[in-house]
Amino acid sequence: MNYLCTLFKGLDGNLVVKSNDPEYYRKNFLSLNTYCPVFNNGKDQECSNYEEIISSVFIILLTNLKSSVENDKLAQYAILWLCYEINKNKNNGISNLNEFYNKYINGIKKYVEGTAGAGNYNSCMNIINKKEDLMNMDIQIASNIYKAFEKLCKLYTECNEKNNNYLSCSKDAQDFANEFKKLNDDPTIAGNNSYIEILYTLSTDYNDFKNNCAKKCSKCIDIPTLTNIKVPQSSGVTSPSSPIASKLIPVLLISSIPILLGIAYKYSLFGFDKLFQRQHLRNKLKKIKKKMELNI
């Protein structure tokens, strides 16, 4: 979980909205344009706006983590991350994830077919199709849920980095519990199966924090219990009954992603785009993909 959080944080910190500056995206994200529009009979490929670049990054993210993303948890978090990034541009007029999907993710298909990236793109589409229920999420609501995920990430990363020096552990845990309760009390969330499933995922990871990470930190005391998730009787949503998934994901992440995350976090201080331009991360992604295949 800690590694996934660091990855999203590194990506988010370097994806900036510049509505009237297409040259910024054309020049500074050359190694992230794998799934950008193609021009001049296939000779040129570039993203010229914020939405195009986050779409390309999202597809790259899913295709390079696809061995693990087949688990619902990572697919949910990746889609939440995308909603949060979309919501950063208040002027794009996009209120529903399906609108973004049709225009940018599905819209790039005509440029990808017949290219070397077609296989990975199709794998990404398969992952998205399995989570078709999430495509109708409201961007603002999903973005609010992502903010709760960020608070949960803070618990994991701070505990991992500071251990017994994590003095604000109890306060941060209470902050997450309060945010979780706010989401749980929101009727627009409590009445939607997709949101409820994500709340269960957040709840499971929070309980894993309580049962594992928090025990390593002497300052993590009086960790609150989350409120019971409100599930409409007709929803058909059930609470996760097996701990296998929550144990499997950390194993996959720990064994497959630490190099990527360490580099993404470190080089975000110097310019994430420059890192991609030097091709270091792309090489690391290939290595990560091979490691994931070995771990399946």
Angstrom distance (rounded) from CA 73 to CA 196: 13
What pLDDT was estimated at residue 221?
A: 86
Q: Which of 17-31, 196-210, 235-249 has the lowest mean pLDDT?
A: 235-249
Task: Write down the mean pLDDT value for the chain.
Answer: 79
% pLDDT > 70, the chain: 75
Q: How confident is the model at residue 256 (pLDDT cuts 50, 70, 90)?
A: very low
Q: What is the pTM of this model?
A: 0.78
What pLDDT was estimated at residue 133?
A: 86
Q: How confident is the model at residue 178 (pLDDT cuts 50, 70, 90)?
A: very high
What pLDDT was estimated at residue 252?
A: 40
> What are the boundaries of each domain within the chain?
10-137+259-295, 139-247
Does residue 179 carry a pLDDT above 60?
yes
Q: Which of 13-22, 137-146, 278-287 has the lowest mean pLDDT?
A: 278-287
Does residue 97 carry a pLDDT above 50?
yes
The pLDDT tens digits for 143-167 are: 999 999 999 999 999 998 888 888 9
% pLDDT > 90, the chain: 39
What pLDDT was estimated at residue 117?
A: 81
Q: Which of 78-87, 194-203, 281-290 has the lowest mean pLDDT?
A: 281-290
Average pLDDT over residues 238-263: 42
Average pLDDT over residues 264-280: 43
Does residue 100 carry a pLDDT above 70?
yes
